Amino acid sequence: MDRYVVFGNPVSHSLSPEIHARFARATGEVLDYQRLLVPVGEFASHAQRFFSAGGHGANVTLPFKVDAFAFAQAASERARLAGAANVLLARGGEVEADNTDGAGLVADLTRNLGLDLRGKRVLLVGAGGAARGVIAPLLALAPAELAIANRTADRAAGLVKHFRELGTLRVVSLQTAPDDGFDLVVNATSSSTHAQSLELPQGLLRPAACVYDMAYGEAARPFLALAAAQGARVADGLGMLVEQAAESFLLWRGVRPATDAVLAELRARLA
């Protein structure tokens, strides 16, 4: 049976095995998909062991997306642009990196949530692997600007420099909210997953703004509750998780599964 895993730390909370099991049943594919906890600093050795033993593919979650890109022998254009990977696949004797995070986020924002970001002001919080994977797809939606805030400003500045030819970007601080605010705020940090607080200062949000946390379920609720208290429309990352998983499944199996039923089922269970 073809073997797949999700690498992460933490990873016990991941719904990816359930999602891919549902996709496999719906499409008639046969596969085995498991979680694999990897100690920080040991990604390459665990990934090498998995693929050397015949593993077919992997999803990669926090904090290993940059490590996954470095580990792979080949990479898709979107993974190269991001410098990070959330998908690995064995192909032609090599391990290839890809990044479906951006496609998953865009599908959730535009198709599931009905957002139109043309001419809007977007704030991305975080500058790690999760953030890197969504910058180019967000800019492709033609926002007026994409601002990046990060605890280490130099890392945010590095991303602005890296992606500057794709659209209007700048570095901002969460401690000093801009006067004109944002229409969409996306939390791409690991703060929610690790039960850490994240500031959401007054004045950050425009009227009818949406606040989106890439974490999902219980982990995302404290941050989203802060945003809802300020009048924002809020959404967690469950839709992104399902949509990026469908893109991963397409890469691995050659068929893109429908996502609506799976997302509705998981949403009802986590409510």
Same domain, 189 and 153: yes
What is the sign, positive or negative, of the torsion defined by CA atoms of 261, 265, 23, 189?
positive
Same domain, 235 and 106: yes
- Whether the pLDDT of residue 5 is over 90: the answer is yes
CA dihedral defined by 226, 231, 232, 237, rounded to 10 degrees? 40
Nearest 5°: CA angle at 214, between 129 and 270? 140
Q: Where are the beta strands (DSSP E) in the chain?
A: 2-8, 31-37, 57-60, 74-75, 87-91, 94-98, 121-125, 145-149, 169-171, 182-187, 205-213, 233-236
The DSSP result for 140-158, as a single string, is TT--SEEEEE-SSHHHHHH
How confident is the model over 54-81, as a mean pLDDT? 97
Sheet with 94-98, edge to edge strand ranges: 31-37, 2-8, 57-60, 87-91, 94-98, 74-75
pLDDT in tens, 161-192: 999 999 999 999 988 767 789 999 999 999 99
CA pair distance 173, 250, nearest whole angstrom = 38
CA pair distance 33, 50, nearest whole angstrom = 12
CA pair distance 16, 216, nearest whole angstrom = 12
Whether residue 15 lies inside any domain: the answer is yes
**Coil, helix or strand at residue 204:** coil
Same domain, 74 and 117: no
Going by pLDDT thresholds of 50, 70 and 90, the confidence category of residue 199 is confident
pLDDT in tens, 97-140: 999 999 999 999 999 999 999 999 999 999 999 999 999 999 99
How confident is the model over 48-69, as a mean pLDDT? 97
Whether residue 265 lies inside any domain: the answer is no
Same domain, 113 and 149: yes
Quote the domain boundaries for residue 107. Answer: 102-239
Nearest Cα neighbor of 181 from 224, 121, 245, 140 is 121
160 Cβ neighbours under 8 A, 6+ residues apart: 148, 169, 170, 171
86 Cβ neighbours under 8 A, 6+ residues apart: 59, 60, 61, 65, 68, 98, 99, 100, 101, 129, 133, 244, 248
Whether residue 267 lies inside any domain: the answer is no
pLDDT, residue 37, reads: 98
Question: What is the overall mean pLDDT for the chain?
Answer: 96
**Coil, helix or strand at residue 33:** strand
pLDDT, residue 201, reads: 87
pLDDT, residue 271, reads: 84
How confident is the model over 24-41, as a mean pLDDT? 98
Same domain, 123 and 35: no
Q: Are 183 and 209 in contact (CB under 8 A)?
A: yes
pLDDT, residue 212, reads: 98
pLDDT, residue 152, reads: 93
CATH of the domain at 73: 3.40.50.10860
Same domain, 106 and 227: yes
Going by pLDDT thresholds of 50, 70 and 90, the confidence category of residue 96 is very high
Write out the catalytic residue numbers: 65
How confident is the model over 214-223, as a mean pLDDT? 94
Count of domains forming the chain: 2
pLDDT, residue 258, reads: 98
Same domain, 108 and 223: yes
Q: Are 27 and 257 in contact (CB under 8 A)?
A: yes
pLDDT in tens, 7-25: 999 999 999 999 999 999 9
